[in-house]
Amino acid sequence: MTSITTEKEITLDEIQNFEGKYPKQLWYLFLSEMWERFAFYGMRGMLTIFMVEKLLLSEKDANLQYGATQAFVYTLAFVGGLFADKVLGFRKSIFWGGSLMILGSFILAVSPVSLFYMGISFTIVGTGFFKPNISTMVGSLYKSGDTRRDAGFGLFYSGINIGALLGGALCVYLGKHYSWNVAFSLAGVVMTISLLIFLFTKKTLGPIGLSPLIGKVSPNKIKIYDLMVYAGSLLSIPFILILVSKSEYTDYFMYTVGPLTLLYIIYEAFKYNAVERQKLLAAMIFIIFSIFFWAFFEQAGGSLSLFAAHNLKDEVAGMHIDPNVINNSSNSLFVIIFSPLIGLLWLWLSKRKLEPNTVVKFGLGFLFVSLSFYIFYYTRFFADAQGMTSLNVFTVAYLVTTIGELCLSPIGLSIMTTLSPKPLHGVMMGMWFLASAYGQYAAGLLGAGMATANEKAPLLEKLNAYTDGYKQLALYALIAGVVLIAISPIVKKLMHDVH
Ligand code: GLN
């Protein structure tokens, strides 16, 4: 360990002039994010079931509260990005966020029932500091214009999904069959591994992610500002606790936060020249479209999981599998398989000068999601007289959804770091995740609109209600994709040198 101090600090140029496909630091960030997502999706997978089984909430209330936690997690990513840009820098933010997540998990492990909302609130604030900032650091490994950037984010995205898949499966299994205390501890242990990997490898990041205040104010002042952010985030926890435990507050929160952040970005944009402003505008267009994307995509956690529970047979490719297992894990599995392949496809196309630009890739993302919702709709034609339909067709639809996600989500992360000026990297990454929060929120509303009013309705009626809804979503996604591709020449102009 101490021998490191005798080594020469690696410079930004040395990092960014790496040879081969990926910088080695990407693997460290990949591992750290993989374990963080394990803990996050492990926790996320446990929430609703735990609230129903142990907190004795009704299914409706559990769903609402689940939605609230998701909305807050991704909303606080904006705050985490903002404070990283202005005060802490990415490294200290990740350290602080990771520590809060560990604390949150162990609070839940010690007393899951009585300290439930407290543990969740720590985790929410922690994720806000961790998640956007580790993604931004990936972007910092590349020079502007490096064509390997999207492939790097593709790899990073696979790491996210390996963690999501393992965490989502293991934690819920442990919780349901052994003990919730053990399951929440596992999230804590894994999050500790994530943070240790980050701490032991951060030397390799050279100057990336250091405090933005270095050289601007004295070291003592930096310490005071840091402490103020730490104290402020701790003080916010009781408020988050109140907001999360009463899901009706979520609405007010969502109505106010979006417009305020938008005003803030406009205010920041005026500090920059016309080219930089136009790039920020392009980033905002991507962000706004992504809200719609996540609203469709996140049916996964809501209406699609109910559809899977009620209307699907349990056979896929000749094997018996619980349809909800397919619903919860096929997306991650497909990301892990297809993300590298799509990365290779982009590289292959770019060598032939055929690679679609980012706006068209986004448009394609919507077109694939549209196709996938047509397939979800199409399951109704495979249904038997009772309204039970094919898990095979459903799984194919998930494959197509995933291709759509891969055209949009990793690329969205990537361009947030190329379209924004450096001092706004964190905040724009936070905006990207804030859009997810709105997407999740809208997904809940769309899903609720699809459900039959009568929970005891016959299965065939449910099948028709959900698949009608999916046909509608397919049409909306198609419109969004076509609009995006139609306006792509304008957006491309706004992006200037970014492709
Ligand atoms: N599944 C991805 C992740 O966990 C994307 C999440 C999102 O942006 N909503 O990072």
| Sign of the alpha-carbon dihedral angle for 176, 181, 182, 185 | positive
pLDDT of residue 58: 82
Instruction: Report in angstroms the alpha-carbon separations of 45 from 98, 165, 184, 398.
Output: 19, 10, 11, 19
How many Å apart are CA 130 and CA 221, to the nearest integer?
Answer: 23
Q: Is the pLDDT of residue 481 over 70?
A: yes
pLDDT of residue 7: 56
Let me know: does 230 contact 111? Beta carbons within 8 Å.
no
How many Å apart are CA 381 and CA 463, to the nearest integer?
Answer: 10
CATH of 18-495, one of 3.60.21.10, 1.20.1250.20, 1.20.272.10, 1.10.260.40: 1.20.1250.20
pLDDT 10s digits, 351-384: 898 889 999 999 999 999 999 999 999 999 998 9
Closest C-alpha among 10, 40, 32 to residue 205: 10
How large is the average pLDDT for residues 406-435? 95
Q: Is the CB of 434 under 6 A from ligand 1?
A: no
Instruction: Report in angstroms the alpha-carbon separations of 406 from 169, 217, 298, 365.
Output: 22, 42, 15, 7
Q: Is the pLDDT of residue 6 over 60?
A: no
How large is the average pLDDT for residues 262-280? 95
| CA-closest residue to ligand 1 atom 7 | 436
Residues 6+ apart with CB under 8 A from 229: 83, 87, 88, 96
Q: Is the CB of 294 under 6 A from ligand 1?
A: yes
| CA-closest residue to ligand 1 atom 4 | 160
Q: Is the pLDDT of residue 414 over 60?
A: yes
Q: Is the pLDDT of residue 278 over 70?
A: yes
Query: How far is ligand 1, taken at its centre, from the CA of residue 337, in Å?
Result: 17
Look at residue 317 and give its three-state secondary structure. Answer: coil
Q: Is the pLDDT of residue 62 over 90?
A: no
Query: How far is ligand 1, taken at its centre, from the CA of residue 433, in Å?
Result: 8
Ligand 1 pocket: which of 157, 165, 409 to mutate (most atoms within 8 A of CB): 409
Q: Is the pLDDT of residue 3 over 60?
A: no
Let me know: does 40 contact 74? Beta carbons within 8 Å.
no
Between 2 and 458, residue with greater pLDDT: 458
Query: What are the residue ranges spanned by the domains of the chain?
Result: 18-495
Between 62 and 89, residue with greater pLDDT: 89
pLDDT of residue 453: 62
Q: Is the pLDDT of residue 176 over 60?
A: yes
Query: How far is ligand 1, taken at its centre, from the CA of residue 177, in Å?
Result: 28
| Token pair in block for residue 357 | 């630009």
Q: Is the pLDDT of residue 60 over 80?
A: no
| CA-closest residue to ligand 1 atom 9 | 436
| Sign of the alpha-carbon dihedral angle for 68, 73, 78, 82 | positive
Average pLDDT taken over every residue of the chain: 92
Residue 4's pLDDT band (boundaries 50, 70, 90)?
Answer: very low
Query: How far is ligand 1, taken at its centre, from the CA of residue 147, in Å?
Result: 23
Q: Is the pLDDT of residue 39 over 80?
A: yes
- Cα end-to-end distance, the chain, whole Å: 41
By percentage, how much of the chain surpasses pLDDT 90? 72
Element (H, E) at 53: helix 24-53
| CA-closest residue to ligand 1 atom 3 | 160
Q: Is the pLDDT of residue 1 over 80?
A: no
Query: How far is ligand 1, taken at its centre, from the CA of residue 289, in Å?
Result: 15
Ligand 1 pocket: which of 436, 438, 440, 441 to mutate (most atoms within 8 A of CB): 436
By percentage, how much of the chain surpasses pLDDT 70? 98
How many Å apart are CA 448 and CA 107, to the nearest integer?
Answer: 32
Q: Which atom of ligand 1 is nearest to the CA of 135?
A: 10
How many Å apart are CA 489 and CA 429, to the nearest integer?
Answer: 24
How large is the average pLDDT for residues 191-211? 96
Instruction: Report in angstroms the alpha-carbon separations of 330 from 17, 310, 391.
Output: 37, 18, 12
Residue 452's pLDDT band (boundaries 50, 70, 90)?
Answer: low
pLDDT 10s digits, 393-404: 999 999 999 999
